[in-house]
Chains A and B, each alone.
Chain A
């Protein structure tokens, strides 16, 4: 009969795993057992091997790896030493997952941090002015100075990959856990023989269950990128821009990959494809053995983006346009427009093949619409007047706006006309859903479009995924 006291090594491991779970990493019981097995295979005195054994079995994506490193250093570094980066540990175990910049003998960086040291006061001023303008439907045009400020903000997006932001303090340290762990393992080896000779059995699983029960449930805190994903785009701090840019790139690329698939896998088979079936079965003497079915071809969506770039929307617009910019690499023929007091076609800027930052800088610099007031009616009329040829039954019109405009009823009439000529009008409203109905105009717009709340990157990704891939 097994002793009821949980294995101390296991308890330590489970505590550590629990701390990882609190940081948002999903770890199953089977992975915990793998970790324990892995520990029995490595040299326990070598901290690097212990760390690799735990990370390879517990952490299954690169983003979580960073969270793991932080947690591991918190949990296992001896008091007084603090966190050690991989470059401080000497040679031999350079982190396989680290960026070249992080490793010793580092690479040559194309930019210096000092080059991006730009006026914080100036930024705060611009931010305040944007926020002041938020509730106004008509805003004064931006000055050249403000435009420059905005361009600088966009430029931050190509900054250093590594955020210099200080993270929130992690859970309190458990002290010199590895030292204690070593001591316990030594004792165990003396009592039971080497751990390598003792396989992990079902008894261990019981231990695991026991230990899990003895620990309090985690708070489910989210990791950094996760929190950015769910943060209001307007409130994302400038220091996070490079990370956001990478995140958007990744999200849009994933969506683009899904859109680019030629066929859609379906649960139910379609109709029998007689022609392909006969061709396939000629080699079987005409006996119909291998049946072929019609599969639905994915229609790549055609997108017309109409993005509000008035004062209150400028921040959102940059993120949304960046997302669409990522999609445009795969989905051909995306037409993009910005509007505030009038509509302006900006597709040519995106076709120059320059990077996003240069494209956006040129756009903000040359466009007369950034930071002006909002007149959706006038803008949609311009669209119908000059660009109506773009409308067809395979087109999705994507409107990004907070729906705060003058002449809303007339705008709704224009929207109705557009709706009748396209596959769908998807409206991404940056205001929270509860706030929509404070304006009676929204009811009019809702008649002719599918409106989604979209103030975070996660919402943007979900809406585009669900709508663009809908058949």
Chain B
């Protein structure tokens, strides 16, 4: 798809073709972010498909995906650029030993000795790119402030080289699990999208695309049970969409045609990954409620 010419309907269709099942409202928001040339800030619980938006966009527009995985302690050196110290030292040694021609100090700080990290790579790319800044809520506020310049003007300043401006405006997707609030400054520069867990109907459609071998009946039963589990506040970690897909596949692998009580008992650990959550669901919802009603 041409990044300069696309419509909402075209984008919606392209998302579906890539196996990303979503509401049209989500596509309208993505469309607006792209058209306005603004970063898209996607918030939501873990496992609802935030990161996948970046991946799907790169496939839809045939653009390179550059991913910056955020974590506590991430700094400019790891996100933007670093000088290749080894290469610089080697060059100095060679010159000292007389193996190299004369060299000025500024040569040591030229593009040849620059190690590009994801952000700089994005800015300097000549082809369309999707920059995925994943789990931005994990970084410190100082790093967020550093992102301001990049996300508002799409340029970065390197003291030794000056200001580098993007050759084209990249598609930027930021994701956050809302572990902490993102600063107002960063939010202001983004178009905002919140993704919640899917409804039963939507999850059935996702299962039919991602695990077609499960069939409609089993997909519906799994989606219904997953929805019941997620509605319970007693559990610590709600199952992600990928876990419901795994559950459907596991049931198919066990030869289950329907979500029986027996099948629930044997496979609940595919969906819930800790003992307390399993016990809480068994106690508060019950295996019987999760299982499908037997066929009349």
Contacts and interface: CB of A to CB of B under 8 A. Distances in A.
Interface string B133-163: 0000000101000000000000000000000
Interface stretch (A3-11, A106-114, A123-131, A204-212): A106-114
A95 B25 contact: yes
Contacts of B181: 61, 254
A355 B236 CA distance: 9
Contacts of B8: 42-43, 49
Nearest to B35: A41
A327 B55 CA distance: 35
A186 interface: no
B94 interface: no
Interface in B225-250: 227-228, 230-234, 236
Contacts of A245: 233
A257 B232 contact: no
Contact of A94 (B23, B41, B43, B194): B23
Q: Is the interface of B mostly helix, strand, loop or mixed?
A: helix
Contacts of B22: 96
B191 interface: yes
Interface in B181-228: 181, 184, 187-188, 190-202, 224, 227-228
A96 B25 contact: yes
A197 interface: no
Nearest to B227: A107
A101 B231 contact: yes
B85 interface: yes
Interface stretch (B26-34, B98-106, B117-125): B26-34
A61 B187 CA distance: 9
B23 A105 contact: no
A263 B180 CA distance: 17
Contacts of A110: 228, 231-232, 284-285, 289
B89 to A, nearest CB: 5
A107 B231 contact: yes
Contacts of A60: 41, 184, 187-188, 190, 192
Interface stretch (A29-37, A366-374, A407-415): A29-37
Interface residues of B, number: 58
B93 interface: yes
A287 B91 CA distance: 14
Contacts of A56: 28-29, 32-33, 191-193
B36 A92 contact: no
A169 interface: no
Contact of A57 (B24, B72, B191, B279): B191
Contacts of A329: 236
A464 interface: no
A103 B193 contact: no
A283 B32 contact: no
B255 interface: no
B179 interface: yes
A57 B28 CA distance: 12
B283 to A, nearest CB: 8
A99 interface: yes
B276 interface: yes
B86 interface: yes
A422 interface: no
A416 B142 CA distance: 41
Contacts of B14: none
Contact of B197 (A30, A100, A262): A100
Contacts of A443: none
A53 interface: yes
Contacts of A353: 276, 279
A261 B179 CA distance: 12
Contacts of B289: 110
A261 B25 contact: no
A409 B264 CA distance: 61
Contact of B227 (A34, A100, A261, A287): A100
A215 interface: no
B280 interface: yes
A49 B24 CA distance: 9
A151 interface: no
Given A56-B32, A95-B23, A254-B180, A285 B89 contact: yes
Contact of A284 (B43, B85, B140, B193): B85
A98 B194 CA distance: 9
A42 B29 CA distance: 10
A315 B77 CA distance: 50
B73 interface: yes
A240 to B, nearest CB: 16
Given A48-B25, A60-B188, A60-B192, A100 B72 contact: no
A135 interface: no
B32 A53 contact: yes
A104 interface: yes
Nearest to A59: B192
A200 to B, nearest CB: 10
A95 B86 CA distance: 53
Contacts of B32: 38, 41-42, 52-53, 56-57
A96 B85 contact: no
A26 interface: yes
6 contacts: A52-B28, A60-B187, A95-B25, A96-B193, A100-B197, A104-B201
Which 8 A/B pairs are nearest by Cβ-Cβ distance?
A60-B187, A107-B227, A105-B201, A355-B234, A97-B194, A56-B29, A60-B192, A52-B28
Given A100-B231, A265-B140, 8 more contacts: A49-B8, A52-B29, A56-B29, A60-B184, A100-B200, A109-B231, A110-B284, A355-B234
